[in-house]
Structures are given as C-alpha cells and as structure tokens.
Chain A
C-alpha cells in the first residue's frame, strides 16, 4: 500500500501548493473569469469519462435554483485505481479547496464527499480536516471574509457498490435509494441531488482546480496533448518493480510508463481498469490520452507468466457481481460473456458462438442504460481480439495454466 512518507513529484498535483491560496485568489476573481479559466484549461473529468469540466460547471452555474450542490465523487471503485485515496490522505487541501472554488463559482451552499465504503478508515481524518477548515474560515459563513459566501462540506460513506461511481447512481444512493443509474436527460447539472442542480466531479478533477487557478490555463494546457490537456495521475499495479501513483503528462506512451515503473517481460497492459481495454505488445506505443488509450487512471501490468483468459475471467466475474441489475443488456449480457469465458476455458465452444458473444458485447456497449454496461464488455472484446492466439490455442498448449 502507498504510504505518506513517500516523496511525490509531478508537474501539477504533486507540485507545491499552499492550503487556501487558490481560494483566496478565486474569491478575488469574477465567477465568469473562473469559468473561463477552467474552460481555457480544457480540463476534463478525471474519473474516466472525460467530460469537459467547464461545461458541467457552466451549466450548473446557469441553472436557476435557490440550492445547488457540489459532490466530490470519491467512490473510487474501478479495479486497479487508488489515486483518489492518495489524494484524500496526502493532498486533502487540493480536493477541498477545489470544492470551495467550485461552490463559489456556481453558487452552491453544500458540498458532499461520497466516500467509497471501503475507505471508511479515512472518514475520521477527513472529518478532522474539514473541522480545521471551518476553524480557519475556509468553510462556513463569509469564507475568508467574502461576504455572503457560505459553504460547508459533509462526508457520506458509500456501501460498496461499484455502480455508485456512476454519477446518477451516486446521487440515488445519496438520496437513500437503490444505487441505480437514472435516465439521462435530465442531467444532474439541472436535476441532480434532491432534484437540484448538482456538479459531480472526481476527486482528481477537483484537486487539479486549485493549481489551474494559481498558475493559469495557459500554463496548464502546455502539458499534455491537444485533446487531453495537463497531467494525469496513474495508479500502476501488477507485474512491475515500482507500482504506485504517478503523475505524468497526458500523451505519455504505454511503453514509457512501463519503463518508468520498471516492468519486464510485459505481455499485456489493461488501461482503464476492468471497464477499460487490454493492449498487447504491438500496441505499447499507444498514448495514454482521452483520444487514444483512455483511462481514469488504472494501469494493470501483466507479464508473460499470466494467463489472459484468467485475467478476463476475473474481470467478467467482477461485472456479473457489480452490474446493478436494472437493465437487461448489462444484467444478463455480462453473465453470458462470463459463460463464454468458462466455455473457452473448458475448450467447449464454437467460434460461431464466440462471435455471437462478441456481437452481444457490442450491443451492450450501445444499448445499456449507463456507463457500467457501456464499458463492461470492453475487456472481453479487447482481450479476445488482442490475445486471440493465446486464448484460442490453449488446447494446443499455447497458454500457461498458472
């Protein structure tokens, strides 16, 4: 596990920041200028979906309501992702200052951190941190002397459902309902928590905001690629010497990352967690970016000793368990894909049936109700495609059994 003693360095988040400084600066700015700065920075959602942050903020700012909410999505449930935990433990000032700035910009009075159930052990330290912010007038009434600006943050503990990382399922869960994605539209920016305009931002997205406010969008977008500006935290795990959280500019190639973390004999890299895509050696020159190998941060490395069918089996078991169960393609589709994996494992399959399952996987990507179902067949499709030979030559001794 990551420990706090580790010295972290990075171009944005892991660079120096003084608590409250971005709030002070933001409070001296026009709300419109803050929105403009965020828009110019081209910051996109760091949870994985990559929706432009400024668009969410602008729509929420424009929505007419006496009450608005900022929700920090700390339901970090994507397998292989642990960057938000690091931020909450080591850089809470970035996350919470980001929430305060968002609140000031859009006119929210209340912020909620939706904390992953398994992160219960962080609950107390976060509460203590927020209490200190209140004492220092970084939360509460007339924050840092800004007349009329009142904002506070509470922490809500999730109950362990993966789907609650999906923003509308998260809101349902907050409201005390079953964690199930809502129909969209309407979107949370208009009809969110308690039916009020709501921003749901990932921990890392919010943690980036103070730096953009301090150093400006021009500085920020010099990093990264045209469509993916700035830097990204990557949670690296698996077969490498130096697993951990790394901050790298967008556009870094998979091979460069592998070198950095000292991975040897790498056979496969799963980019984007269980819901992401799996790449083989010939694809390691792909760039980590929204427009290429997209990820919310999870990078899982598998070396030559790994059995890709077992890897896939594991991912599909995960989705069978974690589908919320409301929509047909995701609830039953994942079961069928998992059955297919088991069939291959036993050698009891036909290519015709596997092709049927691939077609089913494509339907799931477009017909499911939420992002979970849209992405749950990615691993199935990409592993069968990119590790075709290994998987279908198993009977001939092509694959390892460990």
Chain B
C-alpha cells in the first residue's frame, strides 16, 4: 500500500482533521471527518484510508469538503450525550477540539437529552460510558488488533450499533486484561479509568489517617504533559513536593521495591536455574517470566494458564511496597497499619485491579488501598492549585529513600531485563557490569522493537555473594552457560513469543523473558497522559534513561536501603521465608471461557 493521502498531506504541512485514525492502529476509514476531494472521483475519499498508487490531484478544503466535515461533527454531537464541563476529557477531547475548529456553536441536528446506555463501572480498571462513544472503533482496533485480546467489538447494526463485550457482559466478567490501552486511544470520554480521587481526598482530609503514596517510575516521566510540557521531561523532585503539599504524609519511590523485585526475582531465577541445571529437578520450569505487569499477568492467566508456573512468584513492585508499608514501615514508625492508607501512583490501569486481587493482603490488610493513574494524580495536583513544573524539588522519604537507576528503568520496555542483568551479571561473575557494557547501558535489550532477544555468554564466575550464600554453594555450574533472554511488549508480541514457546521454538530455550502488556512498557501504560504515539513513548523512555544516567546508584543490589531491609526485616534473605510471605504471590487459572 502506498502513502495515504493523509500521510502525504502531513508531509506537505497540510492539516487534515481525523477522529477514527490513530497512528498506532490499523486503518478504519469510518468517521469520514478526513474526507477530501480527489480529482476524477464522484465521491469524497477518506484520506486516512486512500493509498496513493498513481499521481492524483487532491483538494483538502472545498465547499463540499467543509460542509461534509461540519455535517459529520454535527451528527456526532447530536448523539453525544453528556456535557463537556462534567467530562474528564474536557480540554483534551478530539471531538470537542474539532467542534471548536469548525466553529460549531449550536446543535444543528438536535442533541440527545437522556442517556441510552448504563455506565459499566464493573471493572476495577476501565469504566465504559457508551453515551460518549462516537463509534470510531479505536478501542476495538486497540483490543483486537494492537493487543490481540479481543474483548471489545461492535454489536448491532445501523443506529443500534454500539461497542460491547461478549454477550454484553460487564467488563469485569469478560477476559479484559485491564491494560487500559483502549482508554489511551479513545478520542472522547467514553473510556476512562476507575477513578479513586474522591476516596483519596477523603483519606487525606481525615486527620486519623496516615496517607502514604508510592510513585512508579513512568508517571514522573510523563505527568508534565498534563501541564502542557512537551513529552520527554521528568518531574521527579517537583512531583514529590506537590504530593506533600497536596497532603500525603509520606512520599515513597516505587523504584525501591523495583530494586527489591530484582533481588527477589533475580534470586528466584538463579534458584530455578540451579534446580533445573544442577539438581535436575524436572518440576522446575524455564524460562521464567516477569510478573510486574498486571496486564500481562492477567493475559497469561486467561490465554496461557498452563504457563502460570513460568511466572515469577515475585509480586510487582507496587504490591511489594504495599506489603512493606503496612508491616515494616508501620511497625518502625509505630503507626497502626489499620490507619495507614496506601496509595500508588501508576502509569497503569491494571494496577487498580491488581491491588484489589484477594490474595494481595499479606500484611493482614489490603496491601495497597488505591491505584491512581498519572492522569488522575495530575488532576489532584491541579485541584490543589498547584502548577507542577514550578514546584521546588525534594527527595523521597525515609526509610526507603531514593532508589537506584535500575529500578527507574523498569518504566521502559526492556528495563526490568536490564535491571535484572545489571545485578545478575555482577552477582554471578563478580565483574562490574560497566566493564561489560559501556556506561552500564545494556543496549541489546533496549529499544522499541516488539520482540527482542539477546544472548550473554557466562565465561567466568566469581564467588557467591553473602546475600545469596545460603542458597547456592558456588557458581561453577553457570560457567560456560549462555544466558538467553528476551523482551516483549504489547500483548500481541507476547502472544507471538508464547506461541513460539508452545511450538518449541527459540524462545522456549530462553532463561528469562520480560513481558509488558503495554506497547513501550509502562511509559506507554493505560494510566499515562493522553494522547500516546510512538514518538511520545520514545521521548518518555529517553527521559527515564537520562535520569538513570544521572543517578549515583544504578544497580539494585547496591541500593543501601534494600540491603538494610534484608538486614533488619527480611533477615532470611531473598526468597527466604519472610520474603515469601510478604513479597511473593500466586496466580489464578482463568482461561478464556466466559460463563
């Protein structure tokens, strides 16, 4: 297929409006807002869907084109129930923007005055308000084509067409993985995350509650976009100050538990390899899969439940932190954990579901009370009258303090793998990772290619470090082994890897595979600022990698707060008894069948 008319126009600085078009998605050509005149053709053509295969003459602004576009906006508005000022997409809505651009100042063809649909807020993660849907099918193409999950599809015909789920079931009862990618691509407010702001404000305003917040690496690299800043700028220190001014009692860095995840998950990997390669334990499965992306975890539970044993039992950083806050932290500071309200700001919609998993109560309480998206946090900051970019910078609170760069790069696809390798290479070979990879940057696992594969031969081994001495006697058995790792982001890519593993292909011979549900990893998560596209995701990743390079500590096992935690609290070490109780979890075989 040649260049589309839309692409050609863009290359020539001619602006053509779009609605159903999205750079990440396949062509639909259904909204018709991008119609143009093509010489020799009787009807107008959708520029997003028209490939140029021979020289053609195009007119993008003629009376017929302008009138058609205005009619399309009029028609969409006539069906679009809800008021702009009570919509979370107010000022960031593509329909609203177009209405403004085309000078719509009244409803030419009337306006619905009552809802046609019930809002589906059954899901912890995604809320569907189909009265605001304009049937652009971006969510359908996201779910079916981009993510290959296939929960959303058009149902009914003609005027009765609407986007629905299998059997019109609530979202919570179908095989939605909660990735929220549909939210990021919805042009209106028809899809949004399940918003806990009211409850959080209530907790903040309650003097008896000790409200703490942990912040994941990706929101800080994107939240500036909500304040009109170009993508690619981190606001870590500014966000810490803003959070304290909002009223959070403590601000913690999720990167701390990302470092802890590396210790636990890395140890688990080494243990798996030891059991499989040395002890010849046939019950141990390899490759080990990462488990920090809750979208990916639920995807696996639905689509490949037979591979649950491959998932690392390590909880995600969010949930590890939750378990520590209401145990270690509460005890250390003499706070009743019943009065602790634990909030997590995440780039993610699925984290809202994850914190509500019934098994996530190892502290004796709900480990994390609320998952908050970067978008929702930006809203809270604005509500508090704060302009984030102007905030003075401040650090994270003790006892967890500032974390390593390894924890930070968890935000980008390949980041978990890189963080794990920085630690595993050093712990096993005793050689500084910067001697192997220039500036500690493990480039083979970086980038945005959907699936990446790398081999790292282990030629020499060092002594077993103290922290792991209770688990393995030596590393001799790893000498000469080539460590095979892979990275996949977006569940469509995950599916390719899983199918290869099922077929006994090259990925079945991997030792460790990082999977992220969202394209680009967490920086492209379903809770991040809207819009998203490849360019934006790239800039967010650059911001994270740049911040990593600016940090003094860039390896998880060098995070002194983590080492202190093992000394003070998790005294039987990584994958020890206490760690298992608080930092590890189990999964549910869900399958694809909907009852």
A residues with CB within 8 A of B: 161, 178, 183, 185-186, 320-329, 331-336, 339, 356, 359-360, 362-369, 374
Asked if B159 and A363 make an inter-chain contact with CB atoms under 8 angstroms apart, the answer reads: no
| A336→B159 CA distance, assembly (Å) | 11
Task: Check B29–A369 contact: CB distance below 8 A.
Answer: yes
Q: Are B157 and A185 in contact (CB under 8 A)?
A: no
Complex contact A329–B30 (CB within 8 A): no
Flag if A369 contacts B32 (CB, 8 Å).
yes
Report chain A residues within 8 Å CB of B68: 329, 363, 366-367
Partner of B158, one of A321, A336, A364, A365: A321
Give Cα distance in the complex from A367 to B41, angstroms. 12
Give chain B interface residues in 57-110, CB to chain A under 8 Å: 64, 67-68, 71-72, 74-76, 78-79, 108-110
- Interface assignment of B50: CB less than 8 Å from any CB of chain A: yes
Q: Verify B32–A360 contact, CB threshold 8 A.
A: no
> Across the interface, do A328 and B108 meet the contact criterion of CB distance under 8 Å?
no
Residues of B within 8 A of A334 (CB): 158-159
Report A-chain residues with C-beta under 8 Å of the C-beta of B154. Answer: 178, 325-326
In the complex the two chains form, is A329's CB within 8 Å of B158's CB?
no
Please report the C-alpha to C-alpha distance between residue A289 and residue B109 in the assembled complex, in whole angstroms: 36
B46 near A183: Cβ-Cβ < 8 Å: yes
Q: Are A325 and B44 in contact (CB under 8 A)?
A: no
Which chain A residues border B31 with CB–CB below 8 Å? 327-328
Interface presence of B49 (CB below 8 A):
yes
Nearest CB in chain A: distance from B256 CB, A: 49
Q: What residues of A have a CB within 8 angstroms of the CB of B29 in the complex?
A: 183, 327, 369
| Interface of chain A: mostly helix, strand, loop or mixed | helix
Contacts of B79 in A (CB 8 A): 332
CB distance from B206 to the nearest CB of A (A): 48
Asked if B242 is an interface residue, CB under 8 A from chain A, the answer is: no
B161 touches A326 (CB 8 A): yes
Closest-by-CB residue of B relative to A333 is B75
Residues from chain B with a CB closer than 8 A to the CB of A360 are: 71, 74-75, 109
Asked whether A325 lies within 8 Å of B156 as measured between CB atoms, the reply is yes
Known A-B contacts: A322-B157, A325-B158. Give 9 more (CB < 8 A).
A185-B51, A320-B159, A326-B28, A326-B154, A334-B158, A339-B110, A360-B71, A366-B42, A369-B32
Contacts of B30 in A (CB 8 A): 326-328, 369
Q: Are A185 and B53 in contact (CB under 8 A)?
A: yes
B134 closest partner in A (C-beta): A328
Jot down 10 A-B pairs with beta carbons below 8 A, ordered by A: A161-B157, A320-B158, A323-B157, A325-B158, A328-B72, A332-B76, A359-B71, A363-B71, A367-B68, A369-B30
On chain A, the residues within 8 Å of B49 by CB distance are: 183
Chain B residue contacts of A328, Cβ below 8 A: 30-33, 72, 75-76, 134-135
Are B44 and A366 closer than 8 Å at their CB atoms? yes
Q: Does B571 contact A (CB under 8 A)?
A: no
In angstroms, how far is the closest chain A Cβ from the Cβ of B73? 9
The reply to whether B35 and A367 contact each other, CB–CB distance below 8 Å, is yes
User: How long is the Cα–Cα vector from A60 to B137 in the complex, in angstroms?
Assistant: 32
B32 pairs with A331, CB closer than 8 A: no
B394 contacts A by Cβ under 8 Å: no
In the bound complex, residues from chain B placing their C-beta under 8 Å from that of A324 are: 157-158, 161
Closest to B136 in A: A328
Question: In the complex, A330 Cα to B272 Cα: how many Å?
Answer: 59
Q: How far is the CB of A362 from chain B (nearest CB, A)?
A: 8
- Complex alpha-carbon distance, A321 and B156, angstroms: 10
State the CA gap A365–B110 with chains docked (Å): 21
Please name all residues of chain B whose beta carbon is closer than 8 Å to the beta carbon of A367 when the two chains form the complex.
32, 35, 43-44, 68, 71-72
Docked complex Cα distance between A400 and B50 (Å): 48
Is A323's CB under 8 angstroms from B159's CB? yes
What string of 1s and 0s marks CB contacts (under 8 Å) between B392-406 and chain A?
000000000000000
Does B27 interact with chain A (Cβ within 8 Å)? yes
